[in-house]
Amino acid sequence: MPTMQATPNTTKPFSALFQPLQLPHGQLLPNRLAKAAMEESLAEHGQLPGPAIARLYQRWAEGGVGLMITGNVMVDSRAMTGPASIALEANTPLDGFKPWAASAQSKGAKVWMQISHPGRQVFAALGGTVWAPSEVALQLGKHSKLFGQPSAMTEAQIAEVIERFASTARRAEDAGFDGVQIHAAHGYLISQFLSPLSNQRQDAWGGSIENRARLLIEVLRAVRRKVSPGFSVAVKLNSADFQRGGFSESDAQAVVQMLNDEGVDLLELSGGSYESPAMQGRTADGRTLAREAYFLEFAKALAVHARMPLMTTGGISRPEVACQVLASGVAVVGMGTALAMDPDLPQQWAHGVAVNAPLAAIAWKDKVLVGIATMALVRRQLHRMAKGLSPKPTASPLFTLLCDQWVSKQMIKRYRRWKTGVAA
């Protein structure tokens, strides 16, 4: 099991990580360390945030991170990534969102809401809307039936989704968040439009990369029109899908060039999807990722074409690696799992203490279950911190997965009861 390793160094060799960064629309990040999005699964009844998620973000604020990007907040409560995910729509009350933002900002960090639509990545048990560019279901072998069968979106449904992203961004600003990140990675709806595997349309929304990127561009423009000039608008994009015939590095390069003129404050580069969980270090096309900073080589290649600041995420847990990321021309270092294991990493690195906070690999044969268990382990740490407890990196993967599945079933029942009272 992983152990925390600390190496004191009085010369503070990691000072590059603690330089401020001014973004294109004027926002100033106090340092270069960002908490990347992790799905917290802490929604209360009605898919709303409450005191638990505020406590969690207060904990990260105290740890010294400069930017926090929330777990994905759904733009449509009929289409959820999980039964305890949070949704923010045009008429959603902001009572729980305001203290969430304030707690994250309490020590000077900025907080951005990641806004997302899952598209076809909706668990069948949840019911609800399963929209996608085409009627192409997830391919997960014997686990494929865990997800709903998607229906191809109409022009009216595409227009509705664009408006929902813009409305959610405006509501995030009203609640006090400093920005939003549009989720166009990891196999969610916008990513599905970008991939030729999931997007088999023959109209203006499919075919060429320009057409496949149209939804992302239209969402970005609609969001920018709705929010104030100083409100940050970021994008999370796959550097590749890591699936044969999917969204490729050349596609990513083309999209980056399209985004150059769209007022993006920060472009986060990640990779993979449920079918190819490269964000956990595993790929479906057989490519081997780096042991740390999985997507750095892809980010370095794309940095040549990008005029906006870049951020990369994936397997970063050591300050030496974080400094290498900055030295490569990437402006912001994103961390997820490492900050779930130890929320104080930034503060310790600022004092020259090279703490490493890894998550032990799960050596099971069923790779889909490995992915689900890994997410459950991370989620367990978030829930512990939301209760005021410390993370427990030595937790049993099997016990954690079983507990997570039991809780999920209870949350599914709660969500379905609530959803029956929500107008379509």
pLDDT digits (tens, 9 = 90+) for 79-89: 999 999 999 99
Is residue 52 assigned to a domain? Answer: yes
Is residue 424 assigned to a domain? Answer: no
Instruction: State the chain's mean pLDDT as an integer.
Output: 89
CATH of the domain at 37: 3.20.20.70
Cβ atoms of residues 195 and 240 within 8 Å: no
Mapping DSSP to helix (H, G, I), strand (E, B) and coil, where does residue 186 land?
coil
Cβ atoms of residues 221 and 265 within 8 Å: no
For residue 296, the model assigns a pLDDT of: 82
Is residue 96 assigned to a domain? Answer: yes
Is residue 2 assigned to a domain? Answer: no
Cβ atoms of residues 377 and 400 within 8 Å: yes
Q: What is the domain range of residue 180?
A: 15-419
Is residue 214 assigned to a domain? Answer: yes
For residue 186, the model assigns a pLDDT of: 87
pLDDT digits (tens, 9 = 90+) for 99-144: 999 999 999 999 999 999 999 999 999 988 999 999 998 877 777 7
Two tokens, residue 385: 């911190």
Q: Which of 20, 70, 19 is nearest to 42 (CA)?
A: 70
Which 8-state DSSP code applies to residue 82? S
For residue 196, the model assigns a pLDDT of: 92
Is residue 36 assigned to a domain? Answer: yes
pLDDT digits (tens, 9 = 90+) for 332-350: 999 999 999 999 999 999 9
- 153-176 b/e with 16+ CB inside 10 Å = b? beeeebeebbebbbbbbbbbbebb
Residue 89 CA to residue 311 CA, distance in Å, equals 28
In DSSP terms, 74 is beta-bridged to 87, 116
Counting other chains too, the contacts that 167-170 makes at CB distance below 8 Å and 24 or more residues apart are 167/75, 167/89, 167/90, 167/226, 168/73, 168/75, 168/88, 168/89, 168/113, 168/115, 169/113, 169/115, 169/223, 169/226, 169/227, 169/231, 169/233, 170/226, 170/227
Instruction: Please indicate, yes or no, whether the overall pTM of this predicted structure exceeds 0.75.
Output: yes
pLDDT digits (tens, 9 = 90+) for 93-105: 999 999 999 999 9
Instruction: Please count the structural domains in the chain.
Output: 1
